[in-house]
Chains A and B, each alone.
Chain A
Amino acid sequence: MSVRFAYPAALALAALAVPACAFVAVRYRRLRDSLRALLPAGKDDSRGGIFGPAIAIRAAAWSLAWVCLVVAFAGPEWGSELVGERQEGASVVFAIDISRSMTVQDLRPSRLEFAARYASLTLDRVPGVPAGIVLAKGTGVLAVPLSVDHRAARDLLSSLSPLLSTSPGTNLSSALDAALRAFPASRPSAGIVVLITDGDETTGSLADAARELRATGRTLVIVGVGTEEGESIPTIPGNADSPPVRAVLREEILSRAAMAAGGRSRYLRATDPGSARELVDLIRSAADSGERMVYSPRAVARYAEFLAIALCLFALGFLLGRPRWRA
């Protein structure tokens, strides 16, 4: 069972409990020392025993209640439940990596042109299926929204270049996010995201994004372009003197991400014979199936458990954290 948080940054608020407890402890010690000073010499402070446990219980219970509240706020999720959706037809979004490593020419004429042709030929074989394009370089950007007008997509594919985006690096997870947002809620269809990349990722985590994609019920097909030997490119663009870096096809990362996406998701190597046919068949089979109910696993929100514990701890601190006067 893996636990994930919808808003992990919020967990930082839990740390506030530590200085709060320290503040109370210091304050209590000072008060106890002041009381001791008032007592006659040699007489022990019996009243420290009245407040000490009460303060300790209340501080501990309320600090834990605070931590539980923060955890609930961070949106914990684990386990899954099946959620049904009525779907009809299919839609496909191509997320194409246009980073600099895609200009490597280990596939002729280059990885990027190979990827563009691969996507364009796939489009030719699935007329009538709404298709869109997301550009993956830096942050993923929706360049062509879902449309049955494939001409617009083809026009863009014919002019792909790293220069289309000035964002540095490659964030494939951001590209997947952009692709998932491209499916309009008013048209429930079998959404297929085709990620064409060499797997060279500089920021983000493709595997995490693939796991999130699984929860949406979409299918992820990762098409790997390039070779395992790869080629060297200069670290600094346009500077041939800068130290070279080897751009290779990272198949292991890509297949692991496709597996994490679950369902009918898969990894295909662009140069494998029949890989394009497999992709086309997958899109066609989804497009040709009529209206249907599709059940996909969704993560279960678990904030309620933490809220219940927080309320119990609050009540516990309130009831037990009181001074017990002795006769």
Chain B
Amino acid sequence: MLSFSRPSVLVILLIAVPLVILARARFLSRTEFPLTLGDWGGVPFRWMATAMRIAAFVSRLAVAVSAVSAALALAGPVIFRQERVYSAPGATVVFVVDVSPSMAAGDMGNGNRLDAARRLMRAFVSSRSGDSFGLVALGSDAALLVPPTHDHAAFLERLAALRIGELGDGTALGLGLAVAAAHLQPGSGAHVILLTDGENNAGEINPKTAAAALPPRGAELHIIGIGTRGDVPIEYTDPETGKGYAGVLESGFDEGALRAIALSGGGTYRAASSPGLLEAIFTEIGEAVPRNPSSYACTVEEPIERPFIACALVAAALAWAIRRLAMGALL
């Protein structure tokens, strides 16, 4: 909400209003006797044409806007924001995201499977400011893109830059889970969320073995199978060759295999065949991940005088231009 750090300055505006009214009522002006010159019986001289009257009005209005904006800026406009500040580390969530080409299938509402996952991950992270998030991507290889961090801006930036096919065209589920496990702090109570639409077909590590490495590190595994079964349209550009692919993908993966991996890691498997189901799964996982309780609200004062000063400058320049250039006035 808008507030002012020097509200007493606003008295200037209160003084200006009666002054303007008195000036309009010619109370402050000298006594004048208007004398209109013109030919006998002819059209009398008109002091201002309609266009000039409009220009004069706009220039006066611009002067008033400029003065009011400057006075408002002088009053020190500020916005108070409440920010949550955390002292305890909170929960750690590591997303392991499949970026193999099949994630480009367009069967999850607007956009492809990765877009749907990305949208919900973004919402999930934004709603949990006290927790740390990590990002692992997997294709035919796997890589840690963001270590578990509280710097949500850095996480979201990298998430936005995630591209289908950037780690090859396979699905190394085991490698992805192993990379996540390697970057977890023992006993941190982490949650590993694997988002995939395929079966393990690459990498040297068996997914069950990698999943089994999670419970000893105190981590909980959640596997989400994204996508529908049957023929789905697919369109993606290989980031390595720049070649575009479009066609129909015969979608279908072995849910049993994903369930078995979840079981090995002592976790759960959930299938998301629609954006609504995917959202419901994220809500469920959100309830399972405890929120960081150690926080306090911090009031942050954000000065916002610059837009007011900018407005004053623009209005003053406009008034000058209209009076001097359009109306030809000198005063």
Contacts and interface: CB of A to CB of B under 8 A. Distances in A.
B309 A188 contact: no
B187 to A, nearest CB: 12
A65 B184 CA distance: 60
Classify the secondary structure of A's interface with B.
Answer: helix
Chain B residues touching A, range:
35 or more
A182 interface: yes
A293 interface: no
B275 interface: no
Contacts of A151: 147, 182-183
Contact of A291 (B67, B83, B87): B87
A185 B83 CA distance: 9
Interface in B70-88: 70-71, 73-74, 76, 83-87
B312 A145 contact: no
B274 interface: no
A70 B317 CA distance: 12
Interface in A5-43: 13, 16, 20, 23-24, 27-28, 31
A69 B147 contact: no
A66 B309 CA distance: 11
Interface in B1-21: 6, 12
Contacts of A280: none
A42 B328 CA distance: 29
B331 A58 contact: yes
Contacts of B150: 130, 146, 184, 186-187
A131 to B, nearest CB: 10
A136 interface: no
B16 to A, nearest CB: 10
B12 A69 contact: no
B313 A184 contact: no
Nearest to A314: B67
Contacts of B312: 69
B237 interface: no
Nearest to A87: B87
B130 A307 contact: no
Given A73-B306, A86-B85, A147 B330 contact: no
B169 interface: no
A20 B73 contact: no
Contact of B85 (A62, A153, A186): A186
Interface in A261-316: 291, 301, 303-304, 307-308, 310-311, 314
A148 B182 contact: no
Contacts of A301: 303
Contacts of B317: 16
Given A151-B182, A304-B76, A321 B331 contact: yes
Contacts of A73: 306, 309-310, 313
B74 A308 contact: yes
Contact of B183 (A23, A149, A182, A188): A149
A301 B12 CA distance: 22
Contacts of A65: 316
Contacts of B305: 303
A303 B85 contact: no
B183 to A, nearest CB: 5
B306 A69 contact: no
A214 B28 CA distance: 54
A145 B330 contact: no
Q: Top 6 closest A-B pairs, CB basis?
A: A152-B147, A145-B154, A147-B147, A145-B151, A149-B147, A145-B149
